[in-house]
Amino acid sequence: MATKEGSQGPVSKRYVSELTAPREVIDELKHVSNVAYVTWIQDVAKAHSTAVGWDSPAYFNLGAVFVVRKHEIEYLAPVVEGERVRLTTWIENWSAATSERHTLIEKVDSGSVAVKAKTLWAMIDFATGRPRRVPQEIKSAFLEGLDR
């Protein structure tokens, strides 16, 4: 199990998926729009959660869900229509009520990094709308999940 030095705790296993940039996400500059990258970052995070057993119904049964509190995105190289990209995501840090998720978007053909992102996800209780402590069972699911 991978761990990070310091008080923030262990990191999660990495989750990897690939996609091809479709025409619908290409902007007037002829490359993937910023909005599409945000969507991809959210979608791969949700896929990672589902892969470790925490899909939307599981969160609804818990009465809480992760919501985005903050995105930091660094755009390093454009992706164009038809280009294949690899999205790799993992949780780097945990706090009582948050997780810090990192995402890399790399061009499959060249291996070059197109985007680096860091997202702070906060666990929110449905009943109160307030932050809620992340249960150990969720942290454990990500820690024990498959490298994929």
Return the DSSP state at 8.
T
Q: Using an 8 Å Cβ cutoff, are 62 and 123 in contact?
A: no
Classify residue 120 as left (phi > 0), alpha (psi -120 to 50) or beta: beta
Q: Which alpha helices (H) appear in the chain, and where do they start and end? A: 34-51, 56-62, 136-144
- Residue 9: predicted pLDDT: 52
* CA pair distance 98, 120, nearest whole angstrom: 7
Give this prediction's pTM: 0.89
Q: How confident is the model at residue 3 (pLDDT cuts 50, 70, 90)?
A: very low
How many other C-beta atoms lie within 10 A of the C-beta of residue 6? 7
Query: Quick check: 5 pLDDT over 70?
Result: no
Q: What would the pLDDT profile of 32-75 be if each residue is shown by its tens digit? A: 999 999 999 999 999 999 999 999 999 999 999 999 999 999 99
User: What are the chain's domains?
Assistant: 16-144 (3.10.129.10)
Average pLDDT, the chain: 91
Phi, psi (deg, nearest 5) at residue 131: -55, 150
